[in-house]
Structure 1
Amino acid sequence: MLTTRFTELFGVCHPVVQGGMMFVGRAEVAAAVSNAGGLGIITALTQPTPDDLAAEIARCQALTDRPFGVNLTLTLSINPPPFAEYRQVIIDSGVPIVETAGSDPTVHIEHFKEHGLKVIHKCTSVAHALKAERIGADAVSIDGFECAGHPGEDDIPGLILIPATADQLTIPFVASGGFADGRGLAAALSLGADGINMGTRFMCTKESPVHQDIKQIIVGASEKDTRLIMRQLRNSMRVAKNTVSNEVIEILAAGGRFKDIKDLVAGVRGRRVFAEGDPELGVWTVGLSQGLIHDIPSAGELVRRIVADAESVIADLGRRVTVTPVNDVPVAAVNGAAR
C-alpha cells in the first residue's frame, strides 16, 4: 500500500483520485473508486438542480461507506447556477470532502471550512496553488497541460509543473493531466506529488455513464487525437479531434468571436455525445492520456491495478538502478552500464 500525506489527510487507502468530470461524475463510478480505496468524486453541476444533487449524493452514500467528495466548478456566466444552494446541499448531506475548481473559490472555501469539510482546489499553475493554500484549501489538484478540459493558458506540462509545485507548496497535492497507469503514479510520486487525479482514464471504466461507443473510440485513439480550442479567447479547452472542434478552430483562426462558436461548443451537445455515442454531435473533453488507455476495466479493478503497478515500478527501480560512488562522485548505473 502506498501511504502519502494525501491518503492520511483524506482517510483513503490509495493516492488515486477520480476527477470531477462534467456529465460523468455520477454515483456509480464515484462509489466504485471509493470502495476500491481511492477517492471518488461526484460532479455537482452534472445535476440540473440542487435537489437533484442531494438525491445523487444519497445514491452514492447507499453504494459506499468509504469517503467520497463532490466537485463544485465555479463557472463564470451571464446566468450562473445557484452556487450557494449547491454548496449548502453539499454541507447538509454530510459529505466530508469537496473539490472546488474554476473562478475565485474564497467564499466557498471559507463556508465549507466553517462546517468542517476538507477542501481540494483544482489549479493550473503554481501561483494559483499558492493562493489556494493561502485561503485555506487543505490540498490542491494541479493540472498539467496534458489534461482534458481547461488546462489554463501557461502550457506547462506535468514534468515541470509537478516539481515546481512541490518546491513551493506546503499542503499535499495530487497531480492531474496525462495519468492513466501505475507508471504515471510512480512518476508523480517521484516528482513530489502526493497522488494522482485522473479523469479520462475513469471515463473508460465499466461504471462510467459514457456511451460504450465513445469508450471504444478513446481506447482506439492516440495521444495525437485531441485539439486545443478557444486559444484566441484565452479559454483554452482540450477536446477530442472531430469535425466540430476543427470547425471551431477554423472560425476563430479567421477572426471569429465567441458568439460565432457558442452553439458549436454548447455543453448540451457534449452531453449528447456521452449519452448517444455519436462523437460528431459536439465537442467533448478528453486528455492526452487516451494514448495510454487500452481497455475498459471496472473502476475498482483499475484503482487496484494502478497501485499494484506503481509499487512494482518503484521496487523494480530499486533493483534496476544503483548508485555507485566513483572517486566520491555518485554515478548512476543502469542495468550494469555506468552513465
Structure 2
Amino acid sequence: MALKTRFTELVGVEHPVVQGGMQWVGRAELVAAVANAGGLGFITALTQPTPQALREEIERCRSLTTKPFGVNLTILPAINPPPYAEYRQAIIDSGVKIVETAGNKPQEHVDEFKKHGIVVVHKCTSVRHALSAERMGVDAISIDGFECAGHPGEDDVPGLILIPAAADKVKIPMIASGGFGDGRGLAAALALGAEGINMGTRFMCTKESPIHQAIKEQIVANDERSTDLIFRTMHNTSRVAKNAISQQVVALEKEGAKFEDVRELVAGVRGRSVYEVGDNDAGIWSAGQIQGLIHDIPSCQELVGRIVREAEEIIQGRLARFVTSRAAVVA
C-alpha cells in the first residue's frame, strides 16, 4: 500500500512526510537524509549567514541526495531585517524547485518564485490565513495547530479542529503541522482531510539532526507538558522547550515585562548555543508538545519508514476492523 496524495504528486516525493524549516536545524545533512528516506526536507535559508552561504548549503545538500528537497524562507518583522530579496534570488539561482514560505505578507516572494516555476508551500496557523495564501497563488498549505513548536498564532486552535476546518475550505493540497511524530498521527491527519504531515521536533530527534546529542536525549526525556508559551502578553506567542530560561521569561511576563526586559534572555545566539554545546538551559529553544510521543533517536530512514508502515497498518488493519458490511449486519 502506497500513501499517494495530491501533495506527494505535487512535489514528487514517495511519502507524505515533510521536515519543515527550523532555525539552526534545517541544514543539508538532515534535509538530504529526509529526502533519501522518501520524504521532503527543507533547508532553512536564514540559518545561513549570507545568501552566498545559502547557495553553498544548497549545493552541499545536492552532493548528499539526488532526490527532491526545498528551502524555507520565513519573513518576520525585524528592526534590521535580513536581505530577503537576496536570499530569494539565491534560491532561484540555485534551481530549487520547492519553497516553504512562512511569516508575514509573502506576496512579492510568492510572485517571484512562481515566475520561475517554483512550487510554493505556505505555512500558516489559521483558516483565514490559509485562504489568503490560496488567493495569493501558493500551491499548497501547511496548516499549523496550537500543539506546534515555534509560533502557533494567537487563536489557540489545536489540530483536531484546525485541520478539518481548513480542509472544509481550502481547495489546494494541504499538509498538517503541529503534534505529529508517528504513524498514528499520519493516519489521523489523512482522516481529517490533510494530504500529509509536517514534522519539526520529531526530526530534531534523529541521528542526522545537526544538534547536540544531549538535546536529543532531553527531547526523549521530556513529556507533553515540557513546553512553555512565551510572548503571550506581547501577542507574539511562541512555544518553546520548558527550561530555566523559559520559566524566567514567563514569570517576568506575569509581572508586566516588555520585550526589552527579556531581550537578552531570548537572544537567538543563546538559543543557537543550546544546540551547539548541549546545555538545555543555555537559552530559549523551540520544541512542541509531541515530545511526549518521542521515545528514541532513529535515523531519518528508520523514522519515515516506520511512520508510513504504521499508518498503512492502521488504515488497512485497525480501522478496517471497524467497518462491517451491510450484508453482515442484516445476517
- Aligned residue in 2 for 1:246: 247
- Aligned residue in 1 for 2:13: 12
Secondary structure of 2:181 counterpart: coil
Distance 1:317 1:138 in 2: 33
- Mapping for residues 250-269 of structure 1, pairs under 5 Å: 250-269=251-270
Secondary structure of 1:119 counterpart: strand
- Mapping for residues 39-78 of structure 1, pairs under 5 Å: 39-78=40-79
Secondary structure of 2:91 counterpart: helix
Measured after TM superposition, the shift of residue 325 of structure 1 is 5.4
Residue 143 in 1 paired to residue 139 in 2?
no
Distance 1:268 1:172 in 2: 36
Residue 279 in 1 paired to residue 287 in 2?
no
Tell me the number of residue pairs that the alignment of Structure 1 and Structure 2 aligns.
328
Residues 200-220 of structure 1: per-residue CA shift (max 9 Å, x gap)? 000000110110000001001
What is the TM-score of this pair, normalised by structure 2?
A: 0.97
- Aligned residue in 1 for 2:109: 108
Distance 1:208 1:175 in 2: 21
Measured after TM superposition, the shift of residue 300 of structure 1 is 1.6
Residues 41-96 of structure 1: per-residue CA shift (max 9 Å, x gap)? 10000001101100000000111111100000001101000000000000000110
Residue 89 in 1 paired to residue 90 in 2?
yes
Measured after TM superposition, the shift of residue 252 of structure 1 is 1.1
Measured after TM superposition, the shift of residue 319 of structure 1 is 3.5
- Aligned residue in 2 for 1:335: none
- Aligned residue in 1 for 2:173: 172
- Aligned residue in 1 for 2:313: 312
Residues 261-294 of structure 1: per-residue CA shift (max 9 Å, x gap)? 1111111111000110001111110000010000
Secondary structure of 1:227 counterpart: strand
**Which residue type is aligned with residue 19 of structure 1?**
G
Measured after TM superposition, the shift of residue 163 of structure 1 is 0.3
**Which residue type is aligned with residue 160 of structure 1?**
I
Distance 2:99 2:20 in 1: 11
- Aligned residue in 2 for 1:38: 39
Distance 1:140 1:164 in 2: 13
Secondary structure of 1:78 counterpart: coil
- Aligned residue in 2 for 1:334: none
Residues 278-331 of structure 1: per-residue CA shift (max 9 Å, x gap)? 0111111000001000000111211111111100011113432024659xxx99
Secondary structure of 1:71 counterpart: strand
Distance 1:324 1:146 in 2: 37
Find runs of 4+ consecutive structure 1 residues off by over 3 angstroms: 323-326
Please report the RMSD computed on the Cα atoms of aligned residues, expressed in angstroms: 1.3
Distance 1:130 1:318 in 2: 31
- Aligned residue in 2 for 1:322: 323
- Aligned residue in 1 for 2:3: 2
Measured after TM superposition, the shift of residue 36 of structure 1 is 1.2
Secondary structure of 2:198 counterpart: strand
Residues 231-255 of structure 1: per-residue CA shift (max 9 Å, x gap)? 0000000001111001111111111
**Which residue type is aligned with residue 176 of structure 2?**
A
Distance 2:41 2:255 in 1: 42
- Aligned residue in 2 for 1:128: 129
Residues 156-180 of structure 1: per-residue CA shift (max 9 Å, x gap)? 0000000001000000010000000
Residue 201 in 1 paired to residue 193 in 2?
no
Secondary structure of 1:273 counterpart: helix
- Aligned residue in 2 for 1:228: 229
**Which residue type is aligned with residue 103 of structure 1?**
N
**Which residue type is aligned with residue 128 of structure 2?**
A
Measured after TM superposition, the shift of residue 19 of structure 1 is 1.2
- Aligned residue in 2 for 1:153: 154
Residues 115-167 of structure 1: per-residue CA shift (max 9 Å, x gap)? 11000000000000001100110001000000000000000000000000100
Distance 2:251 2:320 in 1: 51
Distance 1:321 1:179 in 2: 24
Secondary structure of 2:245 counterpart: helix
Gaps of 5+ in 1: 332-339
Secondary structure of 1:120 counterpart: strand
Distance 1:291 1:248 in 2: 23
Distance 2:136 2:301 in 1: 34
Distance 2:269 2:123 in 1: 24
Distance 1:139 1:211 in 2: 33
